[in-house]
Structure 1
């Protein structure tokens, strides 16, 4: 931020004004072109190529002065279009452990006939950037790449090595996953003291006012299970109670009615305490009470009325797919369902499999793990060396807006890094609206000022971390 010609907080704050009324800074214009190129490179699983996107980012890094030895493009023969990139800016202090910047290049499918605009053309309209991946997650991938370029062009020498991994496969359960592959096959390439990732960020009130910022500190593990009932079947004209569909229905009903026990991590305890103080009233008091004692059943019942809080407190499992039977006039020989579980940190997937078996209580129901089988989510340390700089810098960029640690009820590729000892943090910075901005849906968008201000915030944040041991 100081001394090397880096852009100041005051300069970044000026961007909060509508950009249509002012000229982009030269660095912003360069970033916009990088961002456009990345967004307009189709990286859907069906017809796109993460490998091509990674190659384009590598070309830009090389043009900025990175040596071939600092850039690793990777893919596997079975999935040639699902490759990625690892890049590094080498640090000056060999005793300082590296840090890692993680982002995924792949995007959710988008059909042109369903969208108002071409999903693979970056369109700026009414204060928003529209395109598939404009928010999830190419904004972050572009910001990380841009930061490395700016650091190199400025001659910046960080104390700790800064690594970046742009990977594929985060958005599709059965696709090749680059983060998982790196963790399992090239862990030395991404070895780091900690990693910064998606999952945090800001929220607006839906009317343009930024009301909160969050740092994701930990996440649940995502695991699918197949429950299945089988039966000899027979002619439907002479039915019996012993029916595969009935057995499956009973099992699903038991899962529906089962509540996994409430739990806390250091992160969720801090989240409930801070949120309770901000909310006040009965719900606020209940949040504070649960943070103090998760066994407070009366308080927990009030807190759990909110579906997000309910999920943050426990493992959840829900039926998401059904299949069964083989003919209209035959008793079913087979009936099955997919059970999607979001597992609280610290619990292996096999433990939840056993618990589901106890809940169902029917030995005729089989329960199998559906690939991919995820590692157990590990509680991420609520580290003041991570939270401190992010919170202090946020006070300059976003005055009066609190930064709260939060555990994600969803999942990111961070779980694969945590499994090899790299704690992952979803950073504050760019923000979204309450409606989700069309991420994973139609007409995905992100505020223009969110991109430019968030970019400057993350640039300065990376430098703060990189200059500390």
Structure 2
């Protein structure tokens, strides 16, 4: 997962009054009463703990990094557990586009009264080395001071284990959902050659088709030990990479010429550094700024309210854009991230190449962004080669998912507000949204900001008590959405 970028994490995900008092009917096996369903949920939380921890430990202890690991091994381990729980072999498929990059897809067949629900989680993890400062072996789950420490302990094996454990428990209870539930545990979210969710959605679209889906990408934030914010990801920026290249004749460095590929490229990049793409405020971002305004005072609160209204003045935009976090929410950004130039220290360069990484607002047209980029570079001699991820758009900010999440959050985490949010980073949800499947990033795993920021870094860790509560939250969310 590429996390939401923020300066003051819990404040930036402040609440908006999405849905206040909402009633959601939980579904059970063939029309059980609310009282019976509630009793079943209580038993579920207790009975599922050991199963969940066993699956979680097995996944975390399996190296699924891009360089040395295998998601195929993890996928086969999950398949065995599903078969042991009573799922038919025909319900489970493992797709391995390339060696070591296995993806598991399970179909939990329902009554077909509603379109399927897609559950996603990725099995691969960011690379980790003990020598980088890890206190423990990053590929062995270690209990330490009330936390589980390991690579993938949060991102994203906590969610993967929760989905698997919850579906196994529902199966054992004889639960019959009113819709098919499709679980996709994927490779290549963190690194690789797109042999995970993108491959599945491109090559197995009928298998992955759903009314909407749930995935990582949301944030559940603790402040002073209390749940403060449940942020539901409804959008993310479009990931785009542009290779910008300048060429020149070269020659001996003792006889410089005006035609120099490095100078041409540098001048173009300096123009890009000074350019600011126009601001655009989406519904998800308005919610974000509305919540922020409630947590601040003075000029900043006024500016945030103006942004939340959807049409901020140039002065408001200038003040907010001075903060990189707000700037990334307000507009598309393009930044040079890599350079390669020259052939020898005593030769004039024949070529100079830069990688420009853009994060495009979901409501904008990537083709228009490319036109602005080319115009800003302002050098017809430059070659610009685009590689743009498919646009995903914005999931509806009302409907079943947000209704259920809001109601469950108020019940289980009464001190927590709920808000929608746009990620400035990227998750596999973008590929599903691009195929017309609304996706919602949701966690229920409440953590302090300092712990959330360990993801992709050293000593990634998950609060043990929070894991159990998150798994129960996701179990109950499945109940809500399947009937």
Q: TM-score w.r.t. structure 1 length?
A: 0.92
Pick from 209, 213, 226 the counterpart of residue 191 of structure 1. 209
Distance in 2 between residues matched to 1:64 and 1:377, nearest whole Å: 35
Which structure 2 residues correspond to residues 140-179 of structure 1 after superposition, within 5 A?
140-172=159-191, 174-179=192-197
Root mean square deviation, CA, Å: 1.7
Q: Contact 2:48–2:165 (CA<8 Å) still a contact in 1?
A: no
Q: Which residue of structure 2 lines up, in the alignment, with residue 261 of structure 1?
A: 278
Q: Which residue of structure 1 lines up, in the alignment, with residue 461 of structure 2?
A: 445
Which structure 2 residues correspond to residues 34-73 of structure 1 after superposition, within 5 A?
34-73=55-94
User: Does residue 240 of the first structure (1) align with residue 257 of the second (2)?
Assistant: yes
Output one character per residue of 1:103-159: Cα deviation in whole Å (capped at 9) or x when no partner: 000001111333210111111111111001001000001111111111101111111
Alpha-carbon distance, 1:438 to partner: 1.8
Q: Which residue of structure 2 lines up, in the alignment, with residue 456 of structure 1?
A: 472
Q: Contact 1:347–1:377 (CA<8 Å) still a contact in 2?
A: no
Q: Which residue of structure 1 lines up, in the alignment, with residue 295 of structure 2?
A: 278
1:280–1:462 Cα change, 3 Å: farther
Alpha-carbon distance, 1:189 to partner: 0.5
SS at match of 2:369: helix
Higher relative contact order (Cα pairs below 8 Å, separated by 6+ residues): 2
The aligned length equals 447
Alpha-carbon distance, 1:181 to partner: 1.1
Alpha-carbon distance, 1:314 to partner: 1.1
Distance in 2 between residues matched to 1:293 and 1:430, nearest whole Å: 31
Q: Contact 1:262–1:294 (CA<8 Å) still a contact in 2?
A: no
Q: Which residue of structure 2 lines up, in the alignment, with residue 324 of structure 1?
A: 341
SS at match of 1:108: coil
Alpha-carbon distance, 1:201 to partner: 2.4
Q: Which residue of structure 2 lines up, in the alignment, with residue 350 of structure 1?
A: 367
Alpha-carbon distance, 1:26 to partner: 4.2
Q: Contact 1:390–1:428 (CA<8 Å) still a contact in 2?
A: no
Distance in 1 between residues matched to 2:40 and 2:476, nearest whole Å: 8
Q: Which residue of structure 1 lines up, in the alignment, with residue 330 of structure 2?
A: 313
Q: Contact 1:53–1:105 (CA<8 Å) still a contact in 2?
A: yes
Could you tell which deviates more after superposition, 242-251 or 377-386? 377-386
Pick from 392, 395, 407 the counterpart of residue 380 of structure 1. 395
Pick from 369, 390, 400 the counterpart of residue 415 of structure 2. 400
Alpha-carbon distance, 1:217 to partner: 0.6
Distance in 2 between residues matched to 1:276 and 1:8, nearest whole Å: 38
Distance in 2 between residues matched to 1:251 and 1:8, nearest whole Å: 62
Output one character per residue of 1:156-179: Cα deviation in whole Å (capped at 9) or x when no partner: 11111111100000001x423321
Q: Which residue of structure 1 lines up, in the alignment, with residue 36 of structure 2?
A: 3
Alpha-carbon distance, 1:295 to partner: 4.1
Q: TM-score w.r.t. structure 2 length?
A: 0.89
Alpha-carbon distance, 1:243 to partner: 1.4
Q: Contact 1:112–1:118 (CA<8 Å) still a contact in 2?
A: yes
**Any unmatched runs of 5+ in structure 1?**
13-24
Distance in 2 between residues matched to 1:306 and 1:147, nearest whole Å: 41
Which structure 2 residues correspond to residues 81-92 of structure 1 after superposition, within 5 A?
81-92=100-111
**Any unmatched runs of 5+ in structure 2?**
1-25, 27-34
Q: Which residue of structure 2 lines up, in the alignment, with residue 120 of structure 1?
A: 139
SS at match of 2:338: strand
